[in-house]
Structure 1
Amino acid sequence: MAHTPVNHPARPIYRAIGGLTGLYLVVFGVLGLIATVGDELWAQGDTTVLGQGTNLGFSLLSVLLGGAVLAGTAIGRNVDVLINQGLGYVGIVLSLAGLAFLRTEANIFNLSIATVLVLMVTGLVLLMVGMYGKIGTDAEQEAWQKARLVL
């Protein structure tokens, strides 16, 4: 995409932010697994971790998503860009779906409003990190510079 920055000067900072976001998801998931051990997979109760509602299923999903973000950050080479953008969109969709089903029986992840907000912010952060972390050749960077200067 011509409008996505290539070789952004703050790329290492964005990559670190992506790694910290993945680490947060893993820590939240592991704490959720500890808190929900022995519960049903899609239990709807009052289990909270770090002030957010969760259950065993959502804790497993958080560990998987966080692990994917951390793996992408470790690999680099634009793999992290694809993973961060993809999971950023997934986080936004999950948070909007969670908000829609918050007080219904369809709330299979036992989300609370705090969980929805954190998931939305996490998705937006991953999207931002994915959009500014792209690396490329000097020709690609020059093409991006020319495309952004066209009015």
Structure 2
Amino acid sequence: MIELCRTHGIYILQDEIFKGLGPTGARHLPFVADVYQRGLSLNVMSKSYGLPGVRVGWIACQDAYILSKMERMKHYLSICNSDPSEQLTMIALQNRDRLLQRNCAILDETLHKWEAFFAQHTDLFDWRRPDGSFVVFPR
């Protein structure tokens, strides 16, 4: 997809708010902003890091022009984040690996329960265990 967008000069906005969550052994794609100059990576503290009360999010992109336009719009819509939320975000990101390990361990435990549930109800549901995330769409 990146090659197609690169060929045509198309931006990619990728919602990466669940990045890093998944069952043990899950493989994750790199952040789109790291591998494509017109890739925009959207992230927040509430999902993967398990901190919904910390109302901080961000967009990363290699394109300085588009970031400056987004920054101007952000200043138009809001003044600033709360200082406590910014401080908690810094602490959390410095402990990123520990937070993700903890949340992935919770996911592993929960996933075993879902496997047991779906195994008991094969006549009602069809599902595939997630391998790179935790999102599942059972039929």
TM-score, normalized by the shorter chain, greater than 0.5: no
TM-score by length of 2: 0.28
TM-score by length of 1: 0.27
Structure with more of its chain in helix, by fraction:
1
Relative contact order (alpha carbons < 8 A, sep ≥ 6): 1 or 2 greater?
1
